[in-house]
Structure 1
Amino acid sequence: MKTKIVTFGEILLRISKPEYQRLFQGHRMLGNYGGSEANTAISLACMGDNVEYVTRLPHGAMGEAALMHLREFGLKVSHVVRGGERLGTYYFEEAVAMRNSHVIYDRKNSAMYSLKRGMIDWENVFADAAVFHCSGITCAISRDSMESTMDAIKLAAADGLTIVCDINYRKNLWGYGMEPHDVIFNMMQYSDIVFGDQNEWEVASGVPHIPFVATDDKCELDKDAYQEYFQKMHKLFPKCKKMIMALRNQLASSHHVLTGVLYDAVEGKLYTTKMYDIQPVVDPMGVGDAFVAGYIHAHQKWGDDNQYCLNFALSASALKNTIPGDQNLVSEEEVISNLTSSGGRIQR
């Protein structure tokens, strides 16, 4: 049986300042690797999955360093292509107290920005694959990157792979003339499993979202409202079997309430899970990617046990809030343990 999960996107160098400094303060900068699809791939690998990451990296030391980072976690990288001017980067100013976080992208003319159709041998990539994971971010980088993504999606669908789409709307990236709604809507027509937060589902569908205003873990969701919402989504995206929404209310920079819902379009049934009241949040970057990876891992291992898969995904996402950097460096065992414990105990 084929088990390989293929993820496709741009790995980025994340640059930030220490100790909550503003980007224009101080003289030291910290470097980490990020990028939504790379975060998902590394999280899957940490949980023991067979993962191949496909991207384009520049020649030279920066490309080699990024490749070494991917290999460090056991990712297959044999179909990474080389070329282009530079590695994409982003600058991250951390939130603290009432000050919001701030992201500045620097991706123009990166190796992925200038990726051309036909550079990646998708037939060989998918020869032993079961799942293809892609994201709206890759479609936002450039027209060439979008067209390469759509080529891969169509071939993966024709080959019978499970298509996992993360809407991942980033308004500051879209700049080549295509409407985000049109591109993402098209991606989702081929997708079997779709993720997004409430705002991203609105961008993709045009249907106003249901506000999430939970202030603690005792809040009750309006399940009937979400059931009705996803029934509308299924009419728009008939191929999609599982529709998953991450819900997060940021009460303060270090205090978030987190939960998620899953709609099984085959059953016509909505699933909900617990809420996590997380305080303090150490680093919120990559929390959505951890949710996606947690669900993909669970779905590959436990199939259509919707309730358990959703519980597992949310547990993985909650744990990411405790880990500095973009990537969720936790094992399957730790995610399962977090499902049944209050946390904070010394493991001896």
Structure 2
Amino acid sequence: MEMGRIVCFGELLLRLGAPGRELLLQSPQLQVHVGGAEANVGVSLSRFGHDVAMVSTVPGNALGAHALGELRRHGVDTRAVREVADGRMGLYFLTTGAVQRASEVVYDRADSAFAHSTAADHDWPALLQGADWLHLSGVSPALGPQVAEATLAAACAARASGVRVSFDGNFRPTLWQRWGGDAQAILHALFDQADIVFADYRDIEVILGQRFTQAGAVERVDAAAAAAFAAFPRLQWLACTQRQALSVDHHALGALLLGREGVRAQAPVRQLTGIIDRIGGGDAFAAGILHGILSGFDADATVRFGLAAGGLKHSIPGDFNPVSEADVLAQMGEERFDVRR
């Protein structure tokens, strides 16, 4: 097994959630968790045994210090996170759904310290020294033109240094609309630098400006992957989950991993009942896929590991998925629910 070094670049957030299944501010209290798409992936990979570093910007106050402390608690190197005097911590508020009421997120991250960071703030050749992978997501460029430029600069620097690039599409239309960003052009440029993308056919539709009208969702993913491999010659892998929400608390979750050379692996659908928290499930899946690739798993084992990791996240409150490789392997190998002794 190759325990690689992964550098993650993105915004650290505080999540303020209504307790239990209450509506937001139904009672005067909020539960706090640290998160952020890229940080979620970093924590998972660290718990799987990899050397992980976070690159970000936080305010130099108690909120930023708490976020950094949580990352360090999970083994993530935070020495490349800038602490600045000006700016604020990015926040989001979560109302967890119940029965037929969907969960709802309210963002409060405009003018955050990270949103004001620029490409010049990061010495990427130094930050990527000894790295095997750089992990990015589409959330960062959606925050504004400066961060979009910084994200693309990171991807290009990785490519120039021989570091592989992992990119999660994470299309967030409300964030792009806030500043009128050209999501198609910017995401197209980032996909062009990536070795692996986490995206389904809807992300590819946005980026390539074409529709996939095959009868089934799996067929649409197959067609989108073929179009992506044709459009992006550096791209080697595309991975995605397929979710059917039967209710807020019961989802059917499957996954696909497709390779440029025709490799195709599909994990059997998992029935997730009694869901505790689905936030971060996609990030846990992405971390599982990256772990499989770094560990030399074949495509079938990689996609099953990714799906099992993503499924386990649904049982854990908060954005992070603090499970070990052994926890995920046990989930892959058994469906027993008695107490492990």
SS in 2 for 1:275: strand
Map of 1:187 onto structure 2: 190
Map of 2:161 onto structure 1: 159
Change (3 A) 1:226 1:91: closer
Residues 53, 77 of structure 2: 8 Å contact kept:
yes
Map of 2:9 onto structure 1: 8
Distance in 1 separating the partners of 2:211 and 2:99: 30
Change (3 A) 1:210 1:47: farther
Map of 1:29 onto structure 2: 30
Map of 1:299 onto structure 2: 293
The AA in structure 2 aligned to 1:253 is: V
Map of 1:58 onto structure 2: 59
Distance in 2 separating the partners of 1:251 and 1:26: 29
Task: State the Cα deviation string for residues 263-298 of structure 1 (Å, max 9, x = none).
Answer: 110x22322111101111111100000000001111
Residues 5, 50 of structure 1: 8 Å contact kept:
yes
Flag structure 1 segments of 5+ consecutive residues without an equivalent.
214-220
Q: TM-score, normalised by structure 1?
A: 0.93
SS in 2 for 1:18: coil
Structure 1 residue 103: Cα displacement: 0.5
Choose 156-165 or 230-239, whichever is displaced more: 230-239
Task: State the Cα deviation string for residues 188-222 of structure 1 (Å, max 9, x = none).
Answer: 00100000244323322333356898xxxxxxx75
Give the alignment of 1:269-288 within 5 angstroms: 269-288=263-282
What is the RMSD computed on CA atoms of the aligned residues?
Answer: 1.8
The answer on 1:236 being equivalent to 2:234 is no
The AA in structure 1 aligned to 2:286 is: V
Structure 1 residue 62: Cα displacement: 1.2
The AA in structure 2 aligned to 1:292 is: A
Map of 1:308 onto structure 2: 301
Aligned-residue sequence identity (percent) comes to 30
Map of 2:68 onto structure 1: 67
Task: State the Cα deviation string for residues 123-159 of structure 1 (Å, max 9, x = none).
Answer: 1111111100001001111111111111111010011
Structure 1 residue 24: Cα displacement: 3.5
Residues 204, 224 of structure 2: 8 Å contact kept:
no
Choose 176-185 or 87-96, whichever is displaced more: 176-185
The answer on 1:143 being equivalent to 2:145 is yes
The AA in structure 1 aligned to 2:8 is: T
Residues 201, 224 of structure 2: 8 Å contact kept:
no
Residues 312, 336 of structure 1: 8 Å contact kept:
yes
Distance in 1 separating the partners of 2:81 and 2:317: 27
Residues 193, 242 of structure 1: 8 Å contact kept:
yes
The AA in structure 2 aligned to 1:337 is: A
Distance in 1 separating the partners of 2:213 and 2:285: 20
Count of residues in correspondence between the two structures: 338
Residues 134, 164 of structure 2: 8 Å contact kept:
yes
Residues 117, 144 of structure 1: 8 Å contact kept:
yes
Residues 292, 313 of structure 1: 8 Å contact kept:
yes
The AA in structure 1 aligned to 2:277 is: D
Q: TM-score, normalised by structure 2?
A: 0.95
Flag structure 2 segments of 5+ consecutive residues without an equivalent.
none
Q: What is the aligned counterpart of 1:328 among 316, 321, 341? A: 321
Distance in 1 separating the partners of 2:264 and 2:328: 23
